[in-house]
Amino acid sequence: MEYRKLGKTSIEVSEIGFGAWAIGGDAWGPVEDQASVAAMERALELGITFIDTADVYGDGHSEELVAQVIKSRRDQVIVATKGGLMGHHRDPKGTPVYDRPEKVREALENSLHRLGTDYVDLYFDHIWWDRHEETEAFIEALASLKAEGKARAVGVSTDDFEYIKHFNKNGGLDVVQLEYSILNRKAERQILPYLQEHGIGVVVRGPLQKGLLTGKFTPESTFPKGDVRHNWPNEPWFTESVEKVERLQVLERDEQTMGQLALRFVLSHPAISTAIPGGKTPEQVEENARASVRPLLSEQELQLIDEVAPT
């Protein structure tokens, strides 16, 4: 396993991390807690030191499972969690939940309790659109939480360039979590150059495009109810994406699966600190971990990727 600095912070992370959304059990189909814990244990054995979770993953269940794994080795694991996502940031009357810094602090304290620790290494504002009053509350709260040592570094999870720049208006942004993959290269246009210029760490979610880039899907694939991908087969872009992956499968070889190719592509960008594919089982984790090699991809491989899935 190779390791990288997280931007301008002093934190070093494994370049392949563990994305803990799926193990929450509420968005990716059936998952067994015992297998989830075993997957994280295997990740640590393979040198994966970075685990990313959030308060909304399984309504806190993911954080509770992470707590089981880090309990006896807290200082050996870089833990990130997030607060503030979607419907969870408004009460039934539509009132913003995170409209004051104290509410952001409360959200982190609740996460710390579930994680069984008194600090996290990274704490993210988990958002998808700009909401002014809550944005300012998060910016103020994260600065104080970092100063107190509740979070070693702070950031935002978003794909909105204007929001990133606003969040960094005082230079307090340490890390950005964003979506980036062979099938979604939008971040290359503005966001990644900006983050690289400002020394801001980058955590990539969706490096396998929710499993599409493993090469295991066909236009006839179906997904169970409760899976975030349930409606994918009804979308035209799904068939187009499967066709792109099929064209890239000529790059598979004994030491490189399609999924590993996708992870190596992400890691080839100089702005990236770590990629966090999910893993429900030890076998999936082993597959992901083997993507960390040198060299990553050849010029010929990158050229074909550019032809099949340009920026």
Residue-wise pLDDT tens digits, 64-83: 999 999 999 999 999 999 99
User: What's the pLDDT at 95?
Assistant: 58
Q: Which of 57, 123, 163, 180 is catalytic?
A: 57
Domains of the chain: 3-308 (3.20.20.100)
What is this structure's pTM?
Answer: 0.93
Residue 195 tokens read as 């983050």
The tokens for 253 are 């070889």
**Rounded-to-integer distance, Cα 134 and Cα 140, Å:** 10
Q: Is the pLDDT of residue 140 over 80?
A: yes
Average pLDDT taken over every residue of the chain: 92
Q: Quick one: average pLDDT of 20-24?
A: 92
Q: What is the pLDDT of residues 25-64, one digit of tens each?
A: 887 777 899 999 999 999 999 999 999 999 999 989 999 9
Q: Is the pLDDT of residue 254 over 50?
A: yes
Q: pLDDT band at 116, cuts 50/70/90?
A: very high
Q: Is 57 a catalytic residue?
A: yes
- Cα(225)–Cα(229) distance, integer angstroms: 9
Least confident of 41-45, 98-102, 272-276: 98-102
